[in-house]
Amino acid sequence: MSLDHSWFTEAIPATGTAFSLKGSKLHSEQTPYQQIEIWQTESFGKLMTIDGCTMVSTRDNFLYHEMMSHPALNSHPDPQTVVIVGGGDCGTLREVLKHSEVKSATQVEIDERVTRLSEIHFPELCDKNNDPRATLFFGDGIAWMKEVAAASIDVIIIDSTDPVGPAEGLFGKKFYLDCIKALKPNGMLVQQSESPLLHLDLIKAMHQAMREAGFAETTLLHFPQVIYPSGWWSGSLAFKQAGSKVSRLEHADALDTQFYNRDTHAGAFALPTYVKKAIA
């Protein structure tokens, strides 16, 4: 929605909050799955929105993409095989492929138009799309995970939109059961899990569902994300085996990142008291 022709506004009645950027609309299309718009903003560069919700901007996308990839990969002892469910803007794929230990990274995105528009408007996020280790698959991530070979994946990154529409099925026990089957014995999953300030009930429900599905251990990481509700975001991690989380930080400061380093890695896992109690 927009206040007038020069502002994009995402208003969220459920939380009584809104976020606005001044700019002009460059593109709008209805795909078989969702409404995608591209804006040119005055202060955040280009902005992609899906169904009226902010997705990615030129100015601050590095926060999300770096923190949804590097903390997880550096918490796994040997992440050779990575699958990204969603992530159609390809920014998370780009960050994953900065890790030389990764041998293959498959991105499973339901809406090919997200990727094709990103290639036009966010080419800097797509510069690893032709990496020989990368595979772009366009289809339903839920169906893909159900059919993938058992014990074939080291790390699953669920880089999805909010838990509505095409992404709704990615936030439940049924999907997590398929993820556990697909993961190797020391495998792990990380999923974007909204704002610890505004969506704590969702985070609690996700961790409960992950444990009910059989994950032995879960935790949370958090980071700033200006264009998302409250400006404070999170990722939920689930480990197939208890005690398998490691901290491989010897190369953390050499990953060509803007936000992530060994200090922000440690800080991301230092949880506020009320969040820690909620997911215990």
Q: What is the dihedral of CA 96, 102, 142, 12, to 10 degrees?
A: -10
User: Is 254 exposed, middle or buried, given 0-12, 13-18 or 19+ CB atoms closer than 10 A?
Assistant: exposed
**Type of residue found at 245:** K
Helix (H) or strand (E) holding 263: helix 262-268
Place of tokens 């007038």: 4
On whether the CB atoms of residues 73 and 99 are closer than 8 A, the answer is yes
CA R_g for the chain: 18
Catalytic residue among 159, 162, 256, 263: 159
159 part of the active site: yes
Nearest-angstrom CA–CA distance, 60 and 101: 27
Q: List C-alpha distances in Å: 1 to 60, 108, 128, 179.
A: 21, 29, 33, 35
Run of H or E residues at 158: strand 153-159
**Distance between CA atoms of residues 231 and 63, nearest Å:** 11
Instruction: In whole angstroms, give the CA distance from residue 169 to residue 87.
Output: 16
Can you tell me the distance from the alpha carbon of 55 to that of 89, in angstroms, rounded to the nearest whole number? 9
**What residues are labeled active site?**
159
